[in-house]
Amino acid sequence: MFFPVFVSVVISQRLIELFIARKNEKKMLGLGAVEYDRSAYKYIVLMHSFFILSLIAEYYFLHRTLNYYWPLFLGLFIAAQILRYWVIYTLGIYWNTKIIILKGSTLIKKGPYLHFRHPNYAAVTTEIAVIPLLFSCFYTAIVFSIINIFVLKRRIAVEETKLAELTLSDNNITE
């Protein structure tokens, strides 16, 4: 009974996050921000969709059960959620599931960004590993962790390049 409830909560979270992202996207575009790497976004959506489908399929078809170490994995999942929502709160309208950048804005350097360059990606990477491990879905954990590495490698490269080009940093702010 825990598995369907847990997966329903994760799916609900993602839908709420997509709603927040869409609202932020409209605000940012209204301020003159631009979306970058639009063509790659569909692959991120596909990866996350197939991740959930793979998790469900592996759990039911391979008769997986709650992992013996489930408290550890649940704790890591909760930590990832705390980090994710700290990121969303800290970034405000700048948080999005897409790469949307407002030229001339200043990089956020508070909250989790005092400690990590890409805390949201740390949360996502943790989730992709620990959600399947929580339910002994080892194939899903391995396959999607590897896919995620390639997806994030490209995304972070694009994001870093555009942020360096378009935002103000401590190095180029003049007073």
Task: Please compute the mean of the pLDDT values over residues 118-137 and round it to a whole number.
Answer: 98
Q: How many independent structural domains does the chain possess?
A: 1
**CATH code assigned at 87:** 1.20.120.1630
Look at residue 175 and tell me if it is in a domain: no
Question: Residue 65 domain-assigned?
Answer: yes
Query: Measuring CA to CA, which residue among 162, 35, 12 is closest to residue 97?
Result: 35
In a domain, 159, yes or no: yes
Residues in the chain: 175
Dig out the tokens for 172 from the structure. Answer: 């180029």
Give the integer Cα–Cα distance in Å for 108 and 97. 17
Q: In which domain, by residue range, is 64 found?
A: 2-166
pLDDT at 175 over 90: no
**For every residue of 99-113, which 3-state class applies, written as one string?**
EEECCCCECCCCHHH
Query: Is residue 32 classed exposed, middle or buried when 0-12, 13-18 and 19+ CB atoms within 10 A define those classes?
Result: exposed
pLDDT digits (tens, 9 = 90+) for 71-119: 999 999 999 999 999 999 999 999 999 999 999 999 999 999 999 999 9
131 assigned to some structural domain:
yes
Model confidence over 1-60: pLDDT tens digits?
899 999 999 999 999 999 999 999 999 999 999 999 999 999 999 999 999 999 999 999
